[in-house]
A and B are shown apart, each in its own frame.
Chain A
C-alpha cells in the first residue's frame, strides 16, 4: 500500500507566538488579515500576535467576528475584509472555529466564488495566500490539518472541506497560550483531541506514520488531560496537551476520522454545541460499535488509557472503552446528548447526513443508516 503524510512547517515551544511576525516576513507577506475570535482577543493573545507582526514591519487588518461553529456568512465577511484592506496573507489565531474560518477565507480570496462550492474533497484549484495558524486551544488540530469545517446555515449542515491546500504553511504551537483557557474548554477540546487520536488510530486509512502520532497523542492526553483541566497554570500539562492536540491533528489529517466525527458534524449543523463535548458523548458508543473491526487496536487503546494491562484482546479493548469513559467523567464531561440540550432530535435525518459525511468513509466498521440511528439513540439516553 502506498501512503502519504502531509504536514506544515511546525514551530513548537514556549512563547513561540513571538515567531509570528518573522514567519510572515519569510513568507513574503506585507499585510496580514488576522482572523481571531473575541475570547482570544480578550485573553490578549491576538494583541501579542499583532504587535509581533507590526514589530516585523508588516501591516495587519483584524477580523474577529467569529463565533463557535462559524458559518458561511462569516467567511464571506472575512473575504470582504481581506479585499478591502488589501491583505496578502492570513493569520488564524484562536480555537478551531477561528482557524477554520481563516482557512476558508484564504480559499475564497484566491479561488473566488463561495465557500459552499468547495465542499467535499479536493475542489480547490488555486493556491492559497500564505497562511499561518496559531491554535489557542488544544483540540481541533486544524493548525496542521487539511480540513476546514464550516456551517451552512441554509442546509443546517457542517460542511467538510478537504484539500491538501488547506494545510497551512506554518503552524505555531505555543503551550503558553493554553493557560488562559477555562477548565470547561480545556476538557471539551482535550476530549476532541482524544477522539482525533482514537479515530485516526483505528481509521481504515491509518498508516505507520499516522500511528506514531496517534499513539503519542493518546498517551500524552491520557496522562495530562486531567492535570491540564485541573490547573490552568500547569505548564508541563499544557506542553503535553499542546503536543497531543497537534499530533492528533497530524494523525487524523492524514488517516482521516470515523463515525464519531461524521455524527458529530451532523449534530453540529443543527445545534450550536461544543464539538468536543458531543464527541466525548458519542465516542464510547462508537468505540463499542467499532470494536470488532480491530480488537488489537482497541486493546492497544485500552493499554494506553491505563486499563488493566493483562488479559485477552477483547477484554483489554472493553476496559479501554471504560477507561476513556472514566477520563471523560473525571473532567466533568456530559454523558448524554439529552443532557447537553438536544430538543426533539430528528435522528433519522441526522443519520442520513452523517452517512454522507467524508469522515464516515474511513470508519473501520461498515456503517448502515440504522446503525447510526441506533448509536444516536444510545448516546441520547
Chain B
C-alpha cells in the first residue's frame, strides 16, 4: 500500500514523465511514413513482377519474396471460386508433402470461405494440439504452419477467391498492416483480372489469326501506299514467296507483271467502297479480286484488304463448255447436213455401181462411172469424219494415230486454208506410234492450231504463205509441229496467249479460248503444248503427247 502510494506520487510529480516532444513525434511519424513508403514500393514491385502470361506460381513466388522483408511468410496460396465452388489453385513454395493444390474447399468447414462470407481479412492462429475447426488447419499443420492470414480478393463488387499467407508463428499485424493487405489484395485482384482479360483478348486474336491463316483464298492487307502489311498462308504458297520477301512490297509487284505500270487496282485505294475485279495474275491464274477499304477507329481509311480467289479452274471449265458449245453447234448443223447427204450419196454410189455393171465393156463411159463412185465414196468418208468429229463417241478411244488425226482434220478444213493461198506442207513420220489420247480431243487441238496458223497468215502480205505440219517421235513422245510464217506473236503478248479469253481477233469473233482449251487437253493427257514465235516471221506450236504404253518403254530406256 505504501509503495503503491509512492508510485502514484512519483507518477503525479512526473519524475519519470516528460512533456511530449515534437521531435520524437516527428521521428515516429517519419518512421511510419517510411514504412508506408516501403509498402507502396512493395505494392508497385508486386505489380511489376506480376506476369500476365506467366504461371500463377511465378507470380505468387514473386509476391512472397517481395513482402518477405515486412512479413516473414512461409507459404502463399491462391484459391479461386468457380461456379460457386472454391478450390486451391496454386501455392508457393510447393513442398512435396503439400497436398493442397486442387483441393476442394467445402463451404462449411472452410476458414477461407468464412473470410469471403464476412468479407474481411481474417487472421487466424490455432494450437495444433487442439482439434481442428477448419480443413485448412489440417493442411497447414501438416506443413508445421500454425498461423494464416486470409485475404478475400475482390473485383468490383464480387469476390473471386482468397489470397493467403501462412507462417509457422503469429505475425504481428496492426491496422496499417491490414490496410496494406487490403491494398495488396486489391492490386492482385486487378492484376488477375487484367491477366484474364489479356488472355481473352489474346485468345480472340489468336482465333482470328488462325481463321485468317486457314482461309483457302488469298487475303492480303496493305497500307495506303500499297505496301503489304500482312498476308495469309495461302498467299505465300500461291505466289511461292516467303513472308520476309513480301513484307513491304507493293501489292501490284506481288500480284501483277509489270512493275512500272500503274497499279491495276489503284482505283480501290481512292474509292471508299468495296470493288470487284477479275484479272489474270503474274502466275497466269485468273482470279476474282475483291478489295475492302480498312478503316481505323475514326473511320479514316488506313489500308486495303485484298481478297483473291483463284477461279482459273472454273473459267477453264466454262471456256471448255463454251468452246465445245461452239463446236457442238457447228457439229449439229454438220451432222444434219451429213445425214441428209448420206442417203443421196448412198443412192449415187449404188446407182453408179449398177451403172457400172450395165456397162460391161471398158471404155470412157465406164471410167466415168468408176470416177463417180470414187468421188461418192470420198464424199462418204468426209461425211463420216464430220459426223464422228462433231459427235464425240460415247466411249472415248484412248489411242490415236496422230497422222490420221491430222488427215481427218485436213479433210474438213484443208479447203478453207488453201482458199487463202496457203500451201500446206506435210512431213509425216512413217513409223509413228499411237499416242495415249482420244482422237477426238487431239483433233480439236489440231483444228485450233491450224486455224490459228491460217489466221496468222491471212492478214499477212507475204507471198509464200506456208503451213508446215510435221510429226515425229522424240523419246517416248510423239511431237506434232505446226509451223507458219505468219505475223508471229509480239513480245508482250507471249505470256498471255494461253490465258483464257486472250485474243487479238476481237473483230473476227475470236473467243480467245482455243489455245487455253488446247493446252488444257494436252496437259490432261500428260502432254505439253508449247510454242516459239518471232514477230513478223512466224510461229511454231508443238503438241507433245506420250506414246501409248510408252511410259514403260521410257522407263526401260532410262534403266
Question: Which residues from chain A sit less than 8 Å from chain B, CB to CB?
Answer: 2-4, 6, 121-122, 124-128, 146, 162-165, 167, 204-205, 207, 254-256, 358, 361-362
Nearest CB on A from B46, distance (A): 31
Chain A neighbourhood of B17, CB < 8 A: 122, 163-164
Chain A neighbourhood of B11, CB < 8 A: 121-122
Chain B neighbourhood of A126, CB < 8 A: 20, 25
Chain A neighbourhood of B12, CB < 8 A: 121, 162, 205, 256, 358, 361-362
Contact A122 B15 (CB under 8 A): no
Nearest CB on A from B18, distance (A): 5
Nearest CB on A from B472, distance (A): 114
Nearest CB on A from B23, distance (A): 9
Nearest CB on B from A110, distance (A): 8
Residue B156 lies at the interface, judged by CB distance under 8 Å to chain A: no
Contact A2 B8 (CB under 8 A): no
Contacting A3 at CB < 8 Å: which of B15, B22, B25? B15
Beyond A204-B5, A255-B13, 19 extra complex contacts between A and B, CB < 8 Å = A4-B13, A4-B15, A121-B12, A122-B11, A122-B14, A122-B17, A124-B20, A126-B20, A164-B20, A165-B19, A165-B20, A167-B19, A204-B9, A207-B13, A256-B12, A256-B13, A358-B12, A361-B5, A361-B8
Contacting B14 at CB < 8 Å: which of A125, A146, A358? A146
Residue of B whose beta carbon sits closest to that of A206: B13
Nearest CB on B from A206, distance (A): 10
Contact A4 B25 (CB under 8 A): no
Residue B21 lies at the interface, judged by CB distance under 8 Å to chain A: yes
Residue of B whose beta carbon sits closest to that of A257: B12
Contact B14 A2 (CB under 8 A): no
22 sampled A-B residue pairs with Cβ under 8 A: A4-B13, A4-B15, A6-B14, A122-B17, A126-B20, A126-B25, A127-B19, A127-B20, A127-B22, A127-B25, A146-B14, A163-B17, A164-B18, A167-B19, A205-B9, A254-B13, A256-B13, A361-B8, A361-B9, A361-B12, A362-B9, A362-B12
Nearest CB on A from B266, distance (A): 71
Give Cα distance in the complex from A125 to B19, angstroms: 10
Residue of A whose beta carbon sits closest to that of B29: A126
Chain B neighbourhood of A254, CB < 8 A: 13
Contacting B20 at CB < 8 Å: which of A125, A146, A256, A362? A125
Chain B neighbourhood of A256, CB < 8 A: 9, 12-13
Give Cα distance in the complex from A254 to B25, angstroms: 25
Chain B neighbourhood of A6, CB < 8 A: 14, 19
Give Cα distance in the complex from A146 to B15, angstroms: 13
Chain A neighbourhood of B5, CB < 8 A: 204, 361
Nearest CB on A from B123, distance (A): 24
Interface size on B, residues (CB 8 A): 15
Instruction: List B300-353 residues whose CB lies under 8 Å from chain A.
Output: none
Chain B neighbourhood of A162, CB < 8 A: 12
Most buried by A among B5, B15, B19: B19
Give Cα distance in the complex from A121 to B14, angstroms: 9
Most buried by A among B8, B18, B20, B21: B20
Chain A neighbourhood of B22, CB < 8 A: 127
Chain B neighbourhood of A255, CB < 8 A: 13
Chain A neighbourhood of B14, CB < 8 A: 4, 6, 122, 146, 164
Contacting A127 at CB < 8 Å: which of B8, B9, B21? B21
Chain B neighbourhood of A362, CB < 8 A: 9, 12
Give Cα distance in the complex from A128 to B25, angstroms: 10
Residue of B whose beta carbon sits closest to that of A255: B13
Give Cα distance in the complex from A124 to B8, angstroms: 16
Residue of B whose beta carbon sits closest to that of A147: B12
Residue of A whose beta carbon sits closest to that of B14: A164
Chain B neighbourhood of A163, CB < 8 A: 17
Residue of A whose beta carbon sits closest to that of B18: A164
Instruction: List B86-143 residues whose CB lies under 8 Å from chain A.
Output: none
Contacting A121 at CB < 8 Å: which of B8, B21, B25? B8
Nearest CB on A from B416, distance (A): 114
Chain B neighbourhood of A167, CB < 8 A: 19
Give Cα distance in the complex from A37 to B20, angstroms: 28
Chain A neighbourhood of B13, CB < 8 A: 3-4, 205, 207, 254-256
Nearest CB on B from A278, distance (A): 22
Nearest CB on B from A193, distance (A): 20
Give Cα distance in the complex from A37 to B17, angstroms: 31
Contact B15 A2 (CB under 8 A): yes
Most buried by A among B14, B15, B18, B21: B14
Nearest CB on A from B271, distance (A): 67
Nearest CB on A from B209, distance (A): 60
Nearest CB on B from A282, distance (A): 20
Nearest CB on A from B9, distance (A): 5
Give Cα distance in the complex from A163 to B150, angstroms: 41
Nearest CB on B from A213, distance (A): 14
Give Cα distance in the complex from A162 to B9, angstroms: 12
Give Cα distance in the complex from A146 to B11, angstroms: 12
Contact B20 A128 (CB under 8 A): yes
Give Cα distance in the complex from A204 to B10, angstroms: 11
Nearest CB on B from A220, distance (A): 24
Chain B neighbourhood of A122, CB < 8 A: 11, 14, 17
Give Cα distance in the complex from A128 to B21, angstroms: 9
Nearest CB on B from A26, distance (A): 15
Residue of B whose beta carbon sits closest to that of A362: B9
Give Cα distance in the complex from A4 to B13, angstroms: 7
Give Cα distance in the complex from A197 to B373, angstroms: 172
Residue of B whose beta carbon sits closest to that of A162: B12
Give Cα distance in the complex from A167 to B17, angstroms: 12
Nearest CB on B from A109, distance (A): 13
Chain B neighbourhood of A205, CB < 8 A: 9, 12-13
Give Cα distance in the complex from A164 to B8, angstroms: 15
Give Cα distance in the complex from A162 to B8, angstroms: 12
Give Cα distance in the complex from A205 to B9, angstroms: 7
Give Cα distance in the complex from A361 to B22, angstroms: 31
Residue of A whose beta carbon sits closest to that of B1: A366
Give Cα distance in the complex from A146 to B19, angstroms: 9
Chain B neighbourhood of A125, CB < 8 A: 20
Residue of B whose beta carbon sits closest to that of A125: B20
